[in-house]
Structure 1
Amino acid sequence: MRKYALPVVGVLVAVPLALLTILWLAIEDRPRTDRKVILTPEHVGRAKAIIDTHRHRASPGMLAVARVRPADADLAANYLASRLGNGSAQVAVADRSAIIRLSLPMTSTALPAINGYLNLEGTLLQTDGLPALRSVRIGKLPLPDAFTELIALRVEDWLRRDSEYWAGFDALRQIRISRDELVVVYRWIDAFPHDMKASMVDEHERGRLLSYQSLLAANSTRNGGVGSLATILSQLARGTSPAQSAGEAMADNRAMILVATFHVLGISLEKLLPEAARWPHPPPQKITLDGRDDFAKHFMVSAAIAAYADTALADAIGLYKEIDDSRYGSGFSFNDIAADRAGTKFGEKAVASEDSARDLRGQMASGIEDRDLMPEWKDLPEYLSEAEFKRRFTEIDSPAYRAVMQKIEHRVADLRILR
């Protein structure tokens, strides 16, 4: 037995040492990619144009092509890394290849030694189909291409077992890479929209949405054809007892905000969740905030985006709409931006923490008025054409523009429900 003791001891020592060496090589002290996410109205406009084009032109079964600027692909990667992993990403595009860099924070209370950053880098090479991942490096640790291919096959097998994820992955046919654009070729699948909608909402979330939808339907019948946003939100906040929401106030608030948003916009939840076609339907209502239905829409859309996404995205979308209105619609409105900012802060507070979520629900349940949601707005400029906006404010971020925005921010911060 003694002759086996030394090899066994060697293995027992070597394996932990090997693992520690891999961790030392893979995890680093600082991120190699560290970038802020900066969303502008132009980014939102380009994304909207791509979506609108393919929504109207693509039909089930046909091959379609989407063209994406490298800068927009880079922004999208960085946004997703920040949103999903609190990290940063960068995509550097060349002809027929793209280098992807990703930095993610690693924290562990159980194993403080592995705290640090996971820095990944890899190259996507254009093929006749989807790009192939090569030259992957995790920190100081390079991965053999054969090992990378094996991992990619395992990921594909995992996707195949989930029909909802696989439907989207399988729709992709080719990605062509150049310095000027990424060309994405995909086949539109008839069941794809239905599958994607179903995958966005889990079972618990559906239960919450059904509960608030039922409550809204019952209250809307009594409220009549015109309602106040403050009244709607107060009624919904009273609908779930603290016992039912213990430890889940943030999730309850998200569902409440989403149901209220769809109602304010006059859109059926069926657009998001097909099974909602069988749920109680509130009668159509005109919902106003401080006497204006456009304020209610701005407030709730921004609140929903902030609750389900983040503040930067809500701000960019709200500002994009105002710039678009100055060119083609009713004009640039600082009043609408005030409603956007108030809604964003409301949605932010609704999901900031369990304590914040409960505090907000308590204030709404005790009764609120429109003035608690919408700051003073009557002295703010609105209906500005593009030419008038440029004459008075020159451009976004000019001193004159910042002065008005600072006034709006102070007024929003003073709203009772947000203190």
Structure 2
Amino acid sequence: MRKLLLVFSIGLLFIIPLALITALALALEDHPRIDRQVILTPEHIGRAKQIVDAHRYWVHPGMLVAARVTPADADLAVNYLARRLGKGSAQVTFADRNAIIRLSLPTSATPFFGRYLNLEASLVETDSLPQLRSMQIGKLPLPDMLTDILVLQLVHWLRRSPEYRAGLDAVKRVKVSRNQLSIVYRWADDFSHEMRASIIDERERERLLRYQTLLAANSKQNKAVSLAEVLSPLMRVAANHLPNGDALAENRAVILVVTFHVLGVSPEGILPAMAATWPRPAPQEITVDGRGDLAKHFMVSAAIAAYADTALSDAIGLYKEIEDSRHGSGFSFNDIAADRAGTKFGEKAVASSTSARELQRRFLSGLEDADLMPAWSDLPEFMSEVEFKQRFGGIDAPAYRRMMEKIEQRVAALPVLQYSNSPDVAVQLE
């Protein structure tokens, strides 16, 4: 009997690792099954804004409402999230009462297994939330019972976060058809406050408070001031928190605080409880080359790039200009130049530790608006939609592309975006 148990135990020692190796070999593949670019257009941003606005202005706590999304927009959103969060690609195809999800994510390269995790599953409509069925990872099919267990564990993990818990509690049903995805939810009174507060962790709150306090101390009542003058002391303090600090996180905090100040809004919007007691800077008009609109374009694009990604920032900036050409001040290439300069600034601020430190070093010797914003006075502005199309033919026409190439060249040459060979240094605060 003892010999039989010994043989069985030795067998398990070989069978379990062999089963795991086989599962990995089946699950991981050499090539992605889905490989798609994320292409965001002003039309996509416009439709997203319409959905948000429609619910923001008339939905009240306790109401049961439905958000309706086209299959194309839902597919784009899923692909965007896959690219943004996992550097992968995704695709969703819709039918009546079910959808097929395909996802490809890169994994750490190994000498023995494939480099991509390819997942395919059916999302089946129920009377509440959809259920995953027929899941397959690479060449490895998963029984529905195992899929249910994995989903339950995932939901349990997500519910630890206030923002995900609030979202899961709010959503009551998801209806799927060939032509529409309907998300039925009930808006809770504390839903938005809980989500916004959970986005910012304690360390990030400390950083934001640090730069908010410094900004308040530096501001002067009713004084117009250049953006470079506002950014410089905060970036010098960010550099002083090296080498032990997180350069990317410091830069993000500076950008967010300055963006709030430029827009004239309070951090209470994302920290409703804590930021109410923070010091407030005096109201100021922040300008770039004497223009407040350029400062707003620059900082909003920088914040989007620092906290999201470049594609989203570019699409939102272009959407704003197209809307202005229809209803506002008109299409302005100088606003586009400010958008692109801000996007590149935000991108460099968080691209890597080296890039983040280099950006901080650029502020040590002092910068002016001309170091942040390219030459713009010769760029066409205040064009109506009709004039814009007459002169440039639309956003896909050669004349428009030539103008954008000129702007990109000017932005690329900005001193703040250049790299130097100077060593890392820290600022000694007075």
Common fold by TM > 0.5? yes
Corresponding position of 2:37: 36
Larger displacement relative to structure 2 (111-120 or 179-188): 111-120
Deviation string, structure 1 residues 124-178 (Cα, Å, up to 9, x no partner):
1111111111111010111111111122222233344444421111100111111
1:9 deviates by 1.6
Q: Structure 2 length normalisation: TM-score?
A: 0.94
1:355 deviates by 1.3
Aligned partners of 2:86, 2:160: CA distance in 1, in Å?
Answer: 24
Larger displacement relative to structure 2 (114-123 or 177-186): 114-123
Give the counterpart letter for 1:31 in structure 2. Answer: P
Corresponding position of 1:269: 267
Q: Which runs of 5+ in 2 are unaligned?
A: 419-430
The SS at the match of 2:118 is strand
Aligned partners of 2:205, 2:161: CA distance in 1, in Å?
Answer: 20
Counterpart mapping for 1:370-409 below 5 A: 370-409=369-408
Aligned partners of 1:291, 1:245: CA distance in 2, in Å?
Answer: 36
The SS at the match of 1:113 is coil
Q: Structure 1 length normalisation: TM-score?
A: 0.97
Corresponding position of 1:72: 73
Corresponding position of 2:98: 97
Indicate conservation of the 8 Å contact 1:234/1:366, yes or no. Answer: no
Deviation string, structure 1 residues 289-326 (Cα, Å, up to 9, x no partner):
01100000000000011111111000000000000100
The SS at the match of 1:239 is helix
Aligned partners of 1:171, 1:195: CA distance in 2, in Å?
Answer: 12
The SS at the match of 1:66 is strand
The SS at the match of 2:182 is strand
The SS at the match of 1:397 is coil
Larger displacement relative to structure 2 (247-256 or 258-267): 247-256
Counterpart mapping for 1:15-414 below 5 A: 15-107=16-108, 112-221=111-220, 224-244=222-242, 246-274=244-272, 275-414=274-413
How many residues matched?
Answer: 416
Aligned partners of 1:90, 1:383: CA distance in 2, in Å?
Answer: 39
1:224 deviates by 5.0
Q: Which runs of 5+ in 1 are unaligned?
A: none
Give the counterpart letter for 2:57 in structure 1. Answer: H
The SS at the match of 1:57 is coil
1:241 deviates by 4.8
In structure 2, the CA distance between the partners of 1:371 and 1:28, relative to structure 1 (3 Å rule), is same
Aligned partners of 1:374, 1:322: CA distance in 2, in Å?
Answer: 18
Deviation string, structure 1 residues 191-219 (Cα, Å, up to 9, x no partner):
10110011110111111000000000000
Larger displacement relative to structure 2 (388-397 or 237-246): 237-246
Aligned partners of 2:307, 2:177: CA distance in 1, in Å?
Answer: 34
Give the counterpart letter for 1:393 in structure 2. Answer: F
Indicate conservation of the 8 Å contact 1:350/1:360, yes or no. Answer: yes
Q: CA-atom RMSD, angstroms?
A: 1.3
Give the counterpart letter for 2:27 in structure 1. Answer: A
The SS at the match of 1:285 is coil
Aligned partners of 1:381, 1:55: CA distance in 2, in Å?
Answer: 35
1:352 deviates by 1.2
Indicate conservation of the 8 Å contact 1:247/1:354, yes or no. Answer: no
